[in-house]
Structure 1
């Protein structure tokens, strides 16, 4: 599974409640019909600055759309988010976490800054300031350097 979906699904740093999952789901569901189409999924991924092919979007849809109706329901999206947050997911989860981290790490310097976080959240339509993002960074910045390292990102994304 490409990390783009993983990243998007957790764009607010960590989806800790069904309310968070619903809020992110609604961002994907651009036309408000209660389901995510492949076009809507591709649109969000493109907004994040990723050039994902139609084949990759189709593979994502296939993985998440468990009832095979051609759309992602809120329940399927929630199940996907819960599965992706499983810290016992092994090697594939580690790879997906690394890819998710790299999506946020826009300058590829090995750390996520408040400015990079702000850029991604703004692309997703979130209304927040760089100052807000600085606060989000501080909440997971265990070494106090003002950035989120991959290790800090991993801990944050695998918290129950």
Structure 2
């Protein structure tokens, strides 16, 4: 679980106008652009987090929400972010070239046959790429849908 300091750091980064609270547009800009959420998902998150219905999310409202989110959900969110960072061309999947690039960035010298073996173990539907759900199955042992 993220520490209070990490949560505060994220909150301040998303609070682009420095007002000390998150407007809907700030949350939406971040979640849609960086996390791939839909507008409907952002609206649901915003409405459920803005408990005092003042049109903004205070740090305390955000903190209350984060402390109530199970660790598995936070881990899933982190995995989604990792998956998105692996997806260099932004098509929603990870191909063997992208997977090789990730290992290269981590200074892990894997041969293409090693990468292909990892792909084969993770690519359960056999389409030649790893999607988020396949990665989730490999990490959590269950679908994250």
Match of 1:45 in 2: 31
| 2:15 alignment partner in structure 1 | 29
Local SS of the residue matching 2:12: helix
Q: Which residue of structure 2 aligns with residue 105 of structure 1?
A: 83
Residue 18 of structure 1: how far off its partner (Å): 1.3
Q: Give 1:68's aligned residue.
A: 53
1:152 to 1:36, Cα distance in 2 relative to 1, 3 A: farther
CA distance in 2, matches of 1:63, 1:153: 29
Identify the match of residue 83 of structure 1 among 30, 54, 68: 68
- Tell me the distance in 2 between the aligned counterparts of 1:86 and 1:102: 14
Change (3 A) 1:83 1:39: same
> Which blocks of at least 5 consecutive residues in structure 1 are unaligned?
1-13, 88-92, 117-129, 135-144, 155-160
Runs of 4+ in 1 over 6 A off after TM superposition: none
Find the residue that maps to 1:76 and give its secondary structure: helix
**Match in the other structure for 2:44:** 59
Superposed displacement of residue 74, structure 1: 0.5
Q: TM-score, normalised by structure 2?
A: 0.53
- What's 1:137 paired with? none
> Could you say which structure has the larger radius of gyration?
2
- Larger RCO, structure (CA 8 Å, separation 6 or more): 1
Rounded Cα–Cα distance in structure 1 between residues aligned with 2:38 and 2:70: 22
